[in-house]
Amino acid sequence: MAERSQYEELARQISAVGAVKRSLSRILPAECPSGSAAVLSLIGRHGEMRMGRLAELLAVDMSVTSRHVAHVVERGWLERSPDPEDRRSRILRLTPAGRDLLDDLGRRTTDMFAHYLGDWSDEDVGQLNAMLARLRESVGDCRAHATRTPV
């Protein structure tokens, strides 16, 4: 159990990560906002999947996922095939164009981090990744427990 001031500092740090996130989104190619990049990256990393699974990995509502996916599909980077095992579902799969774009995105991300994180060791980055994964697992999105307190 950590001290109170540590928790308050953590809240500020989490809030400030937004600046880094926005830096990442600024290096993206046109037509590819960060929501689209996240969709492509996760499907590239985990392979084809259904909407529900993607929504989990993105940690956003399925309605949001649906919008991001529609954007990516419209641009020919992703295909939505019907799932033969459950016709309510659709399987998401990268197209060749999507794979090309994903390579490009990886290059841009790598270039940026290599530039700004040049003095970070492989272990440093790995450790930060591990702690962020742990944080996400510990907190999750808590939507089930959420109750916005009235005044």
Partner DNA sequence: TATTGTTATACTCTATAACTATA
Partner DNA sequence: TATAGTTATAGAGTATAACAATA
Whole-angstrom distance, CA of residue 69 vs CA of residue 63: 10
**Contact predicate 44/80, CB 8 Å:** no
Query: How far apart are CB 91 and a second copy at their closest, in Å?
Result: 21
Residue 60 near DNA by CB under 7 A:
yes
The DSSP H or E segment spanning 90 is strand 90-94
Query: How far apart are CB 123 and DNA at their closest, in Å?
Result: 29
Gyration radius of the chain's alpha carbons? 18
Q: Which is nearer to DNA, 28 or 99 (by Cβ)?
A: 28
Cα distances from 124 to residues 20, 94, 128, in angstroms, run: 17, 31, 6
Residue 45 interacting partner from a second copy, DNA, none (CB closer than 5 to 8 Å by kind): a second copy
Q: Which is nearer to a second copy, 60 or 89 (by Cβ)?
A: 60
Positions in the binding site for DNA (CB under 7 A) = 18, 22, 25, 33-36, 50-52, 55, 58, 60-70, 80, 83, 86-90, 141, 143, 146
